Structure 1
Amino acid sequence: MSTELSTTTTPARGLALASFDDAFRFATMVAKSDFAPKDFKGKPESCLLAIQHGSEIGLSPMQSLQNIACINGRPAIWGDAAMAVAMASAVCESVTETIDGEGENMVATCTAKRRGYERPTVVRFSVADAKKASLWGKSGPWTQYPRRMLQLRARGFALRDAFPDVLKGLVTAEEAQDYPTAPVTAEPVVVRPATPQPAQERVDPYEVAKAAIDAERDIAKLDRMRGHIDKRLKDKTFTPFQADELLDQIHARVEFLEAESEVTA
């Protein structure tokens, strides 16, 4: 089977995959390579889904793998890629961002203007908003790069409001990382009484002995069975009646085998 990928190339989109099989083969190759982002390493299925999500908003396969992430079980797009996708869209007229103030008075503003619309979408995200969402002072980027995080939060809201048809509902990865993960509620352990196992059918030694006698064709072994029956009579495995029946059966079996031997001689 050919491993070639049916592709086309364009200056804007780079590698374009022509079929699902091509996409999966490409995803498998990427997942095995050093080019795979950490979260996609060794996961061709995740690579394929990232490529699919990216293609729906106009990203090439490699752009998708670099800019689409799965965070808390939800696909997301990194903020810089979201800006690039929005600004490359024919419906986008302009996107501007500002940050006013210093320290705890900072306010990030993102203004997104959609072509053909009179009024732009304006979103502000302040330190007060970050505190209300329990983000301000949070360890990680909110402590290391507070201005950048305010900017990205305002950007994410503005782009989703102004260009929902372009981003197809994808949130920014920076925003998704701040969502609290749903606590995993353990299922209650229900202790049920053990299901009684059906009692095993008791093997009747008398019936076993009868079957063994009927099947035996060696007269010497039948003679030894007589001693076995006497022992089982003494340990009360067999009743006197059962022992007599078995001894009579052995006697009849021996006579049959002797007669059979004379006929065939």
Structure 2
Amino acid sequence: MGHPPRTKPKPPKTSKEPTMSTTTLAEMQTSAVAQQKQNFAVSMTNLQGFELAQRCAKLLATSTLVPKEYQGNISNCVIALNMAQRIGADPLQVMQNLVIVHGRPTWSSQFLIATVNTSGRFSALRFEFFGEQGQDTWGCRAWAVEKSTNEKLVGADITIAIAKAEGWYGKNGSKWKTMPQQMLMYRAGSWWTRAFAPELSMGLQTADEAGDVFDAQQGANGSYAVDLGDLKPTKAEVVDTQTGEILDAEVVTQTSGNGKESAKTGNAATKNAQKTADSVKEKAENVQADQQVDQQQDEPEPDTSSLNFE
């Protein structure tokens, strides 16, 4: 007898209904809080960063610890926040060291040197003095070591002779006469920064440099005022339109002088022509008057014989 065929057991039936994942209220709240805690940096180019800048500026503008230029001025605070973001500095530190001279922002020399020292790219700035103290040859140079290349970066030499030649030494109230050593270091440090790390200074001068160019006086609110009549005269470059050559000041002066002489000659000729015209006009009037007199004399006298007089 043959055996019956074996049958495979059927697998148990499974439910085809999809499973639904459930999210609790606590998980939803945690997710919303995580999204709100995203970090936004102060920026002028995106909405979140710009809104954050305005909120921070409103807070700083109401403080009495910030300089007068920022109190109640949200726009100035936003600009200071943007500058602090660009150089990686503290906003309050930027506000206290951003000095307004003649309507333009400048850095304090101490802040510029401190920015280099804390940038992490260079060693701390060091200063070397040379020449004989008290003489025009006395000077200072700044240097630092770039950490990525281990190269020593030496700045330009600043001497008392340069200060006198540029007119810094003889300004009213100049610190070059009372504290020359400190001014040499400040100027050497600012020149080094603009030569090797211009992104830290953002192309701005220091308050000391601006004061040397203009006779600036510091006011009670910390800003500097300048008398426009006392500005240092500068030589304007005049370019020859045909050759593209920059003309010397003496040539320009001579040309200007020749122009003045030509103008004087032209004025004299104009005056002579006017005198001639006046003379001709006067002679014509005289001739006309003489003709009228002659005409009156040539007229016959009226006949009065027929008139009866009682």
TM-score tier by shorter-chain length is: 0.5 to 0.7
Runs of 5+ consecutive residues of structure 1 not aligned to the other structure: 1-5, 10-15, 185-265
Equivalent in 65, 85, 91 of residue 35 of structure 1: 65
Moved more, 174-183 or 58-67: 174-183
Distance 1:164 1:157, change over 3 A: same
Q: How does 1:186-205 map to 2 (within 5 A)?
A: none
| Structure 2 residue aligned with 1:111 | 143
Amino acid at match of 2:207: A
Partners of 2:69 and 2:180 in 1: how far apart? 25
Aligned length: 173
| Structure 2 residue aligned with 1:169 | 203
Equivalent in 57, 64, 70 of residue 87 of structure 2: 57
Whether the 8 Å contact between 2:168 and 2:213 is mirrored in structure 1 is no
Amino acid at match of 1:136: Y
CA shift for structure 1 position 19: 2.6
Partners of 1:7 and 1:183 in 2: how far apart? 52
Partners of 2:197 and 2:188 in 1: how far apart? 14
The percent of aligned pairs where both chains have the same amino acid is 27
Residue deviations 1:149-206 (CA, integer Å, cap 9, x gap): 221111100111111233332332322332337959xxxxxxxxxxxxxxxxxxxxxx
Amino acid at match of 1:149: M
Tell me if 1:148 matches 2:182.
yes
Distance 1:54 1:175, change over 3 A: farther
Taking structure 1 as the reference length, what is the TM-score of the superposition?
Answer: 0.56
Tell me if 1:121 matches 2:154.
yes
Whether the 8 Å contact between 2:141 and 2:154 is mirrored in structure 1 is no
Superposition misfits of 4+ residues, deviation over 4 angstroms:
6-9, 181-184
Taking structure 2 as the reference length, what is the TM-score of the superposition?
Answer: 0.48
Partners of 1:145 and 1:42 in 2: how far apart? 36
Partners of 1:7 and 1:65 in 2: how far apart? 28
Larger radius of gyration: 2
Amino acid at match of 1:22: L
| Structure 1 residue aligned with 2:126 | 96
Partners of 1:8 and 1:83 in 2: how far apart? 34
Distance 1:51 1:95, change over 3 A: same
> Aligned with 1:84: secondary structure?
helix
CA shift for structure 1 position 96: 0.7
Partners of 1:91 and 1:175 in 2: how far apart? 25
Amino acid at match of 1:154: A
Distance 1:28 1:159, change over 3 A: same
